[in-house]
């Protein structure tokens, strides 16, 4: 039988309908549909905000990249009749030590992963957006969350019951193999973040964090306070002020009352530590076609390639 006949038309129809329902019920979709154009796989936004900050045309995802990389039948097995949901800003999905009840596959939302500890001792060590999933301990057979999961960017996500998720990955090797590759990437990026926090200057780390947030917010503009940035980077507010001011003097960003606009993406890539390029390189090499957070300008920039070469000895992959 030809390979193209292995997927039943009914499977394709169910998947298509589920994605259409997801788009029609999204808060972000309902709000922005008047300013978007594009094909079936991407949407675009354009304009300025009320303070005159630029919002360049960017492409936002219509699905999670891990799910999109699965075969149609594997995707249906994993999602079943799962409904897509809206995640709200500052919503806590897990606390350290909590049992994991759901696995999340963000579409246009993103989630901050924060270490446990007293208020001043907490640190963001990862961001999960449309390139990944929340709930990786289940892939290791552990049903406890080691980190706090905080919604940093509101939007849509697929939410799968943890018990169903475990049943599916235990009985379908192809799905487990695909998600285990992401687990490897996730762990490699955590190790890279530990190196970054210990050895790199705050200004370069801030530039990296802004680029990571841009990739997952799918926008050059977002709102974040000095206090929150200090919390995320694990430094005092004065350190964030100094670093943000330096980036602003170089006309890389504009910062006003918590509104951040990235003005020069390529310049910000050059200002960032090599960890940003390394993270993207690892994702691309391990997951192949299911690429990491998209480069909005299309091809990988010269700054990214240069940073990767400079930091080549730090790559966790040969």
β-partners of residue 221 are 261
Q: Is there a domain that residue 28 lies in?
A: no
Pairing relation of β-strands 84-87 and 102-106? Answer: unpaired
Owning domain of residue 122: 61-314
Q: Report residue 289's pLDDT band, with 50, 70 and 90 as the boundaries.
A: low
What total of structural domains would you count in the chain?
1
Q: Is there a domain that residue 244 lies in?
A: yes
Q: Is there a domain that residue 121 lies in?
A: yes
pLDDT of residue 251: 96
Q: Is there a domain that residue 33 lies in?
A: no
Q: Is there a domain that residue 49 lies in?
A: no
Q: What is the pLDDT of residues 220-276, one digit of tens each?
A: 998 888 778 887 888 888 999 999 999 999 999 999 888 999 999 999 999 999 999
Q: Is there a domain that residue 168 lies in?
A: yes
Token pair, residue 307, equals: 């940073």
Q: Is there a domain that residue 96 lies in?
A: yes
| CATH number assigned to the domain comprising residue 171 | 2.60.120.10
Provide the strand spans (E) within 129-276: 148-153, 155-161, 221-223, 253-256, 259-262
Of the listed ranges 86-95, 241-250, 280-289, the one predicted with least confidence: 280-289
Q: Is there a domain that residue 264 lies in?
A: yes
User: Residue 2 to residues 70, 71, 158, 227: CA-CA distances in angstroms?
Assistant: 19, 16, 32, 58
Token pair, residue 57, equals: 């045309």
């Amino acid at each position: 039988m030809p390979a193209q006949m292995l997927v039943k038309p009914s499977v394709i129809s169910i998947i298509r309908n589920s994605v259409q329902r997801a788009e029609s019920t999204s808060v972000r979709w309902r709000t922005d549909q008047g300013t978007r154009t594009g094909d079936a796989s991407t949407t675009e936004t354009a304009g300025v905000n009320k303070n005159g900050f630029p919002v360049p045309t960017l492409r936002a995802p219509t699905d999670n990249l891990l799910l999109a990389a699965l075969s149609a039948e594997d995707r249906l097995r994993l999602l079943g009749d799962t409904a897509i949901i809206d995640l709200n800003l500052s919503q806590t999905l897990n606390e350290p030590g909590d049992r994991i009840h759901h696995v999340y596959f963000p579409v246009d939302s993103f989630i901050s992963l924060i270490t446990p500890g007293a208020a001043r001792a907490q640190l963001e060590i990862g961001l999960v957006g449309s390139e990944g999933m929340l709930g990786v301990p289940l892939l290791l057979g552990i049903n406890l969350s080691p980190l706090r999961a905080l919604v940093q960017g509101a939007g849509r996500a697929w939410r799968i019951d943890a018990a169903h998720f475990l049943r599916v990955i235990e009985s379908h090797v192809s799905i487990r193999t695909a998600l285990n590759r992401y687990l490897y990437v996730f762990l490699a990026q955590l190790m890279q973040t530990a190196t970054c926090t210990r050895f790199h200057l705050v200004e370069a780390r801030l530039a990296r964090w802004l680029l990571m947030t841009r990739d997952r917010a799918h926008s050059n503009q977002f709102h974040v306070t000095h206090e929150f940035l200090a919390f995320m980077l694990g430094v005092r507010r004065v350190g964030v002020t100094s670093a943000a001011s330096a980036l602003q003097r170089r006309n890389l960003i504009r910062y006003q009352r918590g509104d951040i606009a990235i003005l020069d993406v390529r310049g910000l890539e050059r200002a960032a530590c090599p960890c940003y390029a390394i993270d993207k390189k690892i994702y691309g090499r391990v997951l192949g076609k299911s690429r990491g957070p998209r480069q909005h300008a299309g091809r990988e920039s010269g700054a990214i390639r240069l940073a990767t070469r400079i930091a080549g000895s730090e790559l966790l992959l040969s």
